[in-house]
Structure 1
């Protein structure tokens, strides 16, 4: 499939796709086709092994920002908002939002030969929009018990995470010290939670529909994939997630961003925080624009 070179090309490809009433289609944009479908917490071993510390450190430093959060999922969503690594993977219900992120500038070095001399030069990487289709039976809401199990893994120390044996029988699994510790965290937000966690739930990835109480989630039509012990969604995953991709021509990224801006998809609308709006506005103030504003 030829790389997309315009918003029109992209929309045509999206509209030509077949969809099913039994599935939910989500989108994620990557500025490079080399990026994997892995949450940020799993991309560095140091972060993965200190996940429980990162969570507590941010809350300890800014407790007032988390006062309204009653579940670990809500805490992780807020952490994601502040760019701290989490076990959540952002997706959007709006393909144009994913296209915007696929046009992020990512440079790569490519070999060249000039006058018989070998060298390298920097070029813009192709991006891609990853389309993730998941059965509605694999989607959960913010108050799901399964989501509580997955999100509270973030509070479990690396020592206990390594002790979790997903091959154990259900009774033995729930009698293990690590799972009892996980249960303790879950009951802090759901005191009526039964002392029974399914091993297969912790080995899964689920699409989560969060509360629409976050400006950025609203602006980006956002949702998340919540990860358990699995660290990446592969093309051959066992979670029933069908994956396809649309490649974005690296040389067309800048022009596509201009076209998206005309459609109201830009830094100011997708990131409603005041500092991002200020950065966008400053970047659009060319001399010709200024002259029109003061005339």
Structure 2
């Protein structure tokens, strides 16, 4: 099967489960032992040909971003106690499926592999896990944004810190004429965000493609590890053995139903 390439993206293709793990856990450990968080986040895609597009970009109605968020706030039954910035609402909207400029990532390579292999009807095509060093991405922030993060003392942003930097998306976009990307740890809205070890990225332009921005950097900030179709059944089996399943990642009856549906529709591995 031909694999779609993305210019400027380092693409590697493992041949075995062991090689796949080595690639996804290839950070310089144990030199960094004692660090609570990795500085690399991952995004699993069922098809290796897919790029990094936000849900708003996939919708194709970029000009409706403000309308979508405004009406989400208006009709929401779970308002925040204090509504000082767009960021609480944006992360809540992303979490519940509204098209936004946010892109979902995870600190866990295994969780990313879950999303690359969960659709057993597509085990005949290559998947992929994209990985980004978000600390390296933050080195390219405008000075006023980078200094706010430095003073905060963390490696990733929070909704509170982004609210201090720019209370609205309009203000965020106006901080610098060149698009920049921030990574934030979303608030623990429910167990799903916690169990998926979630991270979000957001660009200061709703039109800029995340993969295009990441590959323009020197050196490029992103890598794509292909999950070959031939490996997908084995990877799926190993993840199930490790309890990386819908039942855990989507706590509740919906996740349980998704797990059982996949389990009983999966073909036997030859």
TM (norm. structure 2) is 0.71
Deviation (angstroms), 1:284: 4.7
CA gap 1:2/1:238 in 2 versus in 1, 3 angstroms: closer
Q: Which blocks of at least 5 consecutive residues in structure 1 are unaligned?
A: 109-122, 154-181, 187-196, 287-295
Deviation (angstroms), 1:282: 5.8
The answer to whether the 8 Å contact 2:137/2:221 transfers is no
Partner SS state of residue 48, structure 2: coil
Matched, 1:224 2:204: no
The answer to whether the 8 Å contact 1:134/1:240 transfers is no
Find the partner of 1:32 among 13, 33, 47: 47
The answer to whether the 8 Å contact 1:93/1:223 transfers is yes
In structure 2, the residue matched to 1:125 is 125
- Separation in 2 of the partners of 1:2 and 1:97? 19
- Separation in 2 of the partners of 1:260 and 1:251? 16
- Separation in 2 of the partners of 1:136 and 1:17? 14
- Separation in 1 of the partners of 2:104 and 2:73? 21
- Separation in 2 of the partners of 1:16 and 1:67? 40
Find the partner of 1:65 among 66, 74, 78: 78
CA gap 1:246/1:101 in 2 versus in 1, 3 angstroms: same
Deviation (angstroms), 1:214: 2.8
In structure 2, the residue matched to 1:248 is 227
Counterparts of 1:47-66 in structure 2 under 5 Å? 48-61=62-75, 63-66=76-79
Deviation (angstroms), 1:242: 1.4
The answer to whether the 8 Å contact 2:86/2:163 transfers is no
Deviation (angstroms), 1:271: 0.9
Q: Which blocks of at least 5 consecutive residues in structure 2 are unaligned?
A: 1-11, 139-155, 266-270
In structure 2, the residue matched to 1:118 is none
In structure 2, the residue matched to 1:3 is 14
Paired residues, number? 228
Counterparts of 1:207-286 in structure 2 under 5 Å? 207-229=183-205, 230-234=208-212, 235-238=214-217, 242-281=221-260, 284=263
Find the partner of 1:198 among 163, 175, 188: 175
In structure 2, the residue matched to 1:85 is 99
Deviation (angstroms), 1:140: 2.0
- Separation in 2 of the partners of 1:141 and 1:60? 24
- Separation in 1 of the partners of 2:237 and 2:58? 31
Matched, 1:44 2:59: yes
The answer to whether the 8 Å contact 2:180/2:203 transfers is yes
Partner SS state of residue 72, structure 2: helix
CA gap 1:66/1:79 in 2 versus in 1, 3 angstroms: same
Task: Kindly provide the CA deviation profile for residues 57-103 of structure 1, in whole angstroms up to 9, marking residues without a partner as x.
Answer: 33333x21334574422212221222211111111011100011111
